[in-house]
Amino acid sequence: MDNKLEAQGKSLDHFGVIASEMKRLKIPEMIDQAVGVNSQELVTTGDCVMGMVMNCFGFLDYPLMLMPEFFEDKALSCLFREGVDADNFNRHKLGRVLDRISNYGCEKLFSELSFSVCMNEGIGLAFQHCDTTTFSLTGEYLVEDMDVQEVVITRGYSKDQRRDCKQVVQELIVSQDGGVPLLTKSWSGNASDSKIFQARIRELVRIFKKSNELRCLIADSKLYSKENAEYLSQINFITRIPSTIKLEGDVRDKAIQQDSWIEINENYKAAEYSVVHYGFAQRWIVIYSTHAYNRAVKSVAREVKKKEEEIQKKLFHLQAKRFSCEEDARKALNFIAKKQRYHTITEVALKKHKHHAKRGRPTKNEGASKFTFQIVGKATINQEAVDLSIQRRSCFVLGTNMGREELSCEGVLNAYKQQDKVEKGFAFLKSPSFFASSLFLKNTPRIQALIMIMTLALLVYSVVQRKLRMRLKEKNDTLPNQIKKQTATPTLRWIFQMLQGINYITIRINGVVKTIVDNITDLRRKIILIFGAEVAKIYKISLVGV
């Protein structure tokens, strides 16, 4: 009897890693426990959220409404379970999922998920970075047509430079350890950073006081204001002091004049001062940066050149004028001189001109009827002012209420420099390859839920990347980067791209079903084994002999 052979291949790629890690972190399970499960559902809310997170890492522009098309060629039985079909992820189902998340509370659900993941993964929560960004939306969003809600889609200051679009603002807090998002919240499109930070810091006072461990909030200069002072004095913080505060300039000038810097490394040095500002004691640390100095030299040189061109024009027009007295002439020259920052203007000549009552050549004995005065000035560069401006721009002031025994000057600087963790998180969310980078939903609660799921994808990404790098460090091992050089800190995006091309093949021979995973190279095997036994199981890689 002839053997009957059937084979069907589905794409597995890097999605096996995502599915395995999300299940290990119990994210789908916790979502279902929070929002509830309908016994008649083929796929649960947790399943749908996991599917949406996978879509985020598809590196293909499949928006939410095209989820069934995204899953058509994926090995769903391997990623989820038998019986799950691509059509289960239709837009109506996903819309209801977003509604459930919104009804439960986007901020509440995300905080619960993040807290559980951080506890299980041992993620350090001592230093937390806060910032905001904007998501632009196209189309009409009429406030009067919407239900009463906290978040309003409207125009405001656009950090995307899309002033033509309405927007929502996203607040994000991430851990310094791995850049793991700890909290996300959506705000109205016209909400200011000052308003957002003021509301957040009141809440953090309550949370930080509950913790028995060190907690410190790090943010940009918008955090530091008179309105926030009452709450800032109750928690540990590190922030940049706004240059609009007079005392900031005085402290910076004092550090420059005293020249008593403490060397931190070849690029930074610091000078520390104890101050009382907004009613409580603080440490203000003036940081001098060689990188900022190099930038300042170039920017000040451009300014000096521009100002010199402006001064020469003014002096040219000034010398063409005639004044009725010497005092008026000198006042006009001084008026120009006192507005100069980088130049000194000196009087070169003051000429006296005769004027006669009649036109034509005056007679021999005819005296002048009046006199006018012409003044000529010369501009020279005030090198001392130029140097001072460069020095001022080379410095910035960091403020904290943590004592020296808790954090040194170098520690304060290093903690503040990690503020790019939250900025990298925003860059991830706004990446062109991220499917939800342009929001298309009309329903505001669904938009909030979608932003929460996008941030959940960032949480999964950062936790898995942290795990990968820690495993490499433990093994003292490396992986090739994009230019084939070995690195112990690869990006997870690149690792996922290296796993593309792995297929899950189902073979039927006379009704007997067998499954295999195809296209596992030595490098891909190594990557999968680094993630651990649970991931290796999905890819059908044996741990025997490993």
Q: How far apart are the first and last CA of the chain?
A: 42
Are β-strands 236-240 and 280-289 bridged in parallel, bridged antiparallel, or unpaired? unpaired
The predicted pLDDT at position 500 comes to: 92
The predicted pLDDT at position 146 comes to: 41
Residue position matching structure tokens 């919407």: 146
CB 63 within 8 A of CB 440: yes
Are β-strands 236-240 and 216-219 bridged in parallel, bridged antiparallel, or unpaired? parallel
Question: What is the DSSP code string of 164-185?
Answer: TSEEEEEEEEEETTTT-EEEEE
The predicted pLDDT at position 1 comes to: 44
pTM: 0.84
The predicted pLDDT at position 159 comes to: 52
C-alpha of 44 from chain center: 33
DSSP code at position 361: S
Residue 157, CA distances (Å) to 154, 165, 173, 459 in order: 10, 10, 20, 27
The predicted pLDDT at position 4 comes to: 64
Burial 279-309 (b: 16+ CB within 10 A, else e): eeebbbbbbbbeebeeebeeebeeebeebbe
**How far is Cα 59 from Cα 495, in angstroms, rounded to an integer?**
13
The predicted pLDDT at position 437 comes to: 39
Q: Give me the half-sphere count of Cα atoms (radius 13 Å) on the Cβ side of residue 328.
A: 11
Query: pLDDT by residue for the chain (546 residues), tens digit each?
Result: 456 666 678 899 999 999 999 999 999 999 999 999 988 888 999 999 999 999 888 765 555 556 788 888 899 999 999 889 999 998 889 889 999 999 999 999 999 999 999 999 999 999 999 988 887 665 444 443 444 345 555 655 455 555 556 778 888 999 999 999 999 988 877 777 778 888 888 888 888 888 888 899 999 998 999 999 999 999 999 999 999 999 999 999 999 999 889 999 999 999 999 999 999 999 999 999 999 999 999 999 999 999 999 999 999 999 999 998 999 999 999 999 998 999 999 988 999 887 766 676 666 666 667 789 999 999 999 999 999 999 999 999 999 999 999 999 999 999 999 999 998 888 888 776 654 434 456 678 888 898 899 899 999 999 999 999 999 999 999 999 999 999 999 999 999 999 999 999 988 887 787 889 999 999 999 999 999 999 999 999 987 555
CB 221 within 8 A of CB 241: yes
**How far is Cα 466 from Cα 444, in angstroms, rounded to an integer?**
33
CB 59 within 8 A of CB 491: no
CA angle 293, 296, 298 (to 5 degrees): 115
Q: Extract the runs of DSSP E, i.e. beta strands, from 326-405.
A: 343-355, 370-381, 395-400
CB 493 within 8 A of CB 427: no
Residue 3 exposed, middle or buried by CB count within 10 Å (0-12, 13-18, 19+): exposed
Tokens of 414: 């290093």
What size, in residues, is the chain?
546
